[in-house]
Structure 1
Amino acid sequence: MNTFEDPITSGPSNTSAPLGKAQGFYLLNSFNEYTLFDVFTANITEGDYKGTIAIFGQVREVDPIRYLTVIGGTGSFLGARGLAKNRLIDIDHAPPAKWTMSFELDLYY
Structure 2
Amino acid sequence: MNTFEDPLTAGPSNSSTTLGKAQGFYVLNSFTEFTLFHLFTASITEGDFKGTIDIFGQLREVDPIRYLTVVGGTGAFLGARGLASSTLVNIDHTPPAIWTLSFELDLYY
Shorter-chain-normalised TM-score: which range? over 0.9
- For 1:54, the equivalent position in structure 2 comes to 54
User: Which residue is 2:36 aligned to?
Assistant: 36
Q: Higher mean Cα deviation, 48-57 or 90-99?
A: 90-99
Partner of 1:76: 76
Cα RMSD of the aligned pairs, angstroms, is: 0.9
1:5 matched residue in structure 2: 5
Aligned equivalents of 2:43, 2:20: Cα separation in 1: 5
1:102 alignment counterpart: 102
Q: In the alignment, which residue of structure 1 is the partner of 2:91?
A: 91
Deviations 1:44-63 (A, max 9, x none): 00100000000001221110
State the number of aligned residues: 109
SS of the counterpart of 2:76?
helix
Structure 1 segments unaligned to the other structure (5+ residues): none
Q: Structure 2 regions of 5+ residues with no counterpart? A: none
Equivalent AA in structure 1 for residue 88 of structure 2: L
TM-score (ref. length: structure 2): 0.96
Counterparts of 2:28 and 2:87 in 1: how far apart (Å)?
A: 18
Cα shift at 1:41: 0.2
Q: Distance in 2 between matches of 1:78 and 1:53?
A: 8
Q: What's the % identity of the aligned pairs?
A: 78
TM-score (norm 1): 0.96
Hey, which bits of structure 1, 4+ residues long, moved more than 6 A?
none
Sort the Cα spacing of 1:66 and 1:89 in 2 relative to 1 into closer, same or farther, 3 A. Answer: same
SS in structure 1 at match of 2:14: coil
**Letter of the structure 1 residue corresponding to residue 69 of structure 2:** T
* C-alpha distance after superposition, 1:2-59 (max 9, x if no partner): 0000000000000000010000000011222321110000000010000000000122
Q: Distance in 2 between matches of 1:17 and 1:64?
A: 26
